[in-house]
Amino acid sequence: NAGVTQTPKFRVLKTGQSMTLLCAQDMNHEYMYWYRQDPGMGLRLIHYSVGEGTTAKGEVPDGYNVSRLKKQNFLLGLESAAPSQTSVYFCASSYGGSTNEQYFGPGTRLTVT
C-alpha cells in the first residue's frame, strides 16, 4: 500500500515551458486535491476533485489545469510556467469531504527560471 505518490520529485522549467505533475493514490479515495506550499504561507488549494471525471477550482487556480480521468490519478498541468509558480506542490486524497482527514504525497519541488 503506497498511499499517495507524486512524480516527478524535482523539476526545473524555463519561463513559458509546460509540464504535468502526476498524482496517484491506491486507497480508493473519492476526493483528491492539489496544493502549493510557499515559505511563510499555509498550504493553499489549487484545484480539487470530488470524484472521477470531476474537477473544481480552489483558492489559487490561475495558471493551472487539472484532469481526473481515472479515480486513482489526478494530474496538474502548467501550460506556460511563470517564476511565480516556483513552489512545492503537494497532492492529497481523502475518503470524503469536510470531516475526513487528507493524506498527502511527498511533494514535487518545482523551480521556474
Partner 1 sequence: EDQVTQSPEALRLQEGESSSLNCSYTVSGLRGLFWYRQDPGKGPEFLFTLYSAGEEKEKERLKATLTKKESFLHITAPKPEDSATYLCAVWGGATNKLIFGTGTLLAVQP
CA pair distance 7, 82, nearest whole angstrom: 20
Residue 22 interacting with partner 1 (CB under 8 A):
no
**69 is an interface residue for partner 1 by CB under 8 A:** no
Q: Which is nearer to partner 1, 41 or 69 (CB)?
A: 41
Q: Taking CA 32 as the corner, what is the angle to CA 30 and CA 35, rounded to the nearest 5 degrees?
A: 165
Instruction: Report if residue 105 touches partner 1, rule: CB under 8 A.
Output: yes
Indicate if the alpha-carbon torsion angle 96, 97, 102, 108 is positive or negative. positive
CA–CA distance, 93 with 105 (Å, rounded to integer): 9
* Contact between 95 and partner 1 per CB under 8 A: no
Task: Answer yes or no whether residue 58 interacts with partner 1 by CB under 8 A.
Answer: yes
Q: Work out how close the CB of 88 gets to partner 1 at its nearest, in angstroms, rounded to a whole number.
A: 9
CA-to-CA dists, residue 92 to 1, 18, 82, 113, angstroms: 15, 22, 24, 27
Which CB sits closer to partner 1, 83 or 97? 97
Grid cell, residue 14, equals: 524555463
Site for partner 1 in 30-49 (CB under 8 A): 33, 40-45, 48
Binding site for partner 1 (CB under 8 A): 4, 33, 40-45, 48, 58-59, 90, 92, 97-99, 101-107
